[in-house]
Amino acid sequence: MNAFFAIIHREVLLVLRRKSEALTVLFFFLIVTSLFPLGIGADVALLRKIAPGVIWVAALLSTILGLQRLFASDYADGTLEQMALSPTPFVLLVGGKITAHWLLCGLPLVFLAPFIGIQFDLDLETLRTLILALLLGTPILSLIGAIGAALTLGVRGGGVLLSLLVLPLYIPVLIFGAGAVFATSAGLDVGGHFSLLAALLVLAIAFAPWATTAALRIAIE
């Protein structure tokens, strides 16, 4: 277990030394969400309606941006191979990296979201649902995205290919996450949405680290 936390500690330290890497993801999130009102017009009622979808899609895209860095630098300097050869189970170390990715790329989105929600004139109840849904959803995005990052490691055109592979897999999270926010704004019950999101999270935690580890081994050998 120590190795797991050691990896997280390492990842956080590395990013803190190059803060720009994590900050660019957040700025991307802010900019993309601002584009929609600029493109569609400032009709408040309309913005309130599209807010769940816009914020969630921006979250998906921002997560994918952050995924490209997940394994790339360790792969390039041989650290990933060392991790694979170490006595600690590789899957544990990979799990640590994914958790760190969520802490650095996903959790900040959860904190930023309410401010964007206010820009789109969402009420308090809806904002609360938004935060909770993103809290459940962003780990799923990191977990599934890690599989894609591992598969496209060191591959030509990796960034765009990663998006093509991962975005279809993100669709259920998008549907339930944005659906939950939309339901709250319409005054409907969100129990179902959250149960489904939680189920997806459990599934992702159960399978994604293993799939990612298998894909990494294929990339390394």
Partner 1 sequence: MNIMHSSSSGRYLNWFSFSSPATFYPLAARLTPFFWGLSILFGIVGLWISFFVAPADAVQGDGYRIIFIHVPASWMSMVIYMAMAMWAALGLIFNTRLSAMMAQALAPTGALMAFLSLWTGAFWGKPMWGAWWVWDARLTSELILLFLFLGFMALQASIDDPRRADKAGAILALVGVVNVPIIYFSVTWWNTLHQGASVSMSKAPAMAHTMLWGMLLMTMCFWMYTIALALMRVRAIILERESHSDWVKTLKELRA
List contacts with partner 1 (CB under 8 A): 147, 151-152, 155-158, 161, 164-165, 167-169, 171-172, 175-176, 179, 182-183, 196, 200, 203, 207, 211, 214-215, 218-219, 221
- Report the C-alpha gap between 126 and 188 in whole angstroms: 11
Shortest reach from residue 199's CB to partner 1, in Å: 9
Shortest reach from residue 119's CB to partner 1, in Å: 23
Shortest reach from residue 157's CB to partner 1, in Å: 6
Shortest reach from residue 31's CB to partner 1, in Å: 26
Q: State which residue, 31 or 164, has the beta carbon closest to partner 1.
A: 164
- Report the C-alpha gap between 38 and 133 in whole angstroms: 26
Q: State which residue, 4 or 90, has the beta carbon closest to partner 1.
A: 90
Q: State which residue, 22 or 141, has the beta carbon closest to partner 1.
A: 141
Q: State which residue, 124 or 164, has the beta carbon closest to partner 1.
A: 164
Shortest reach from residue 214's CB to partner 1, in Å: 6
DSSP per-residue string spanning the chain: -HHHHHHHHHHHHHHHHTHHHHHHHHHHHHHHHHHHHHHH---HHHHHHHHHHHHHHHHHHHHHHHHTHHHHHHHHTTHHHHHHHSSS-HHHHHHHHHHHHIIIIIHHHHHHHHHHHHHTT--HHHHHHHHHHHHHHHHHHHHHHHHHHHHTTT-TTHHHHHHHHHHHHHHHHHHHHHHHHHHHHTT---HHHHHHHHHHHHHHHHHHHHHHHHHHHHHH-
CB atoms within 10 A of CB 169: 15
Shortest reach from residue 60's CB to partner 1, in Å: 14
Q: State which residue, 22 or 147, has the beta carbon closest to partner 1.
A: 147
Q: State which residue, 93 or 190, has the beta carbon closest to partner 1.
A: 190
Amino acid (1-letter code) at residue 141: L
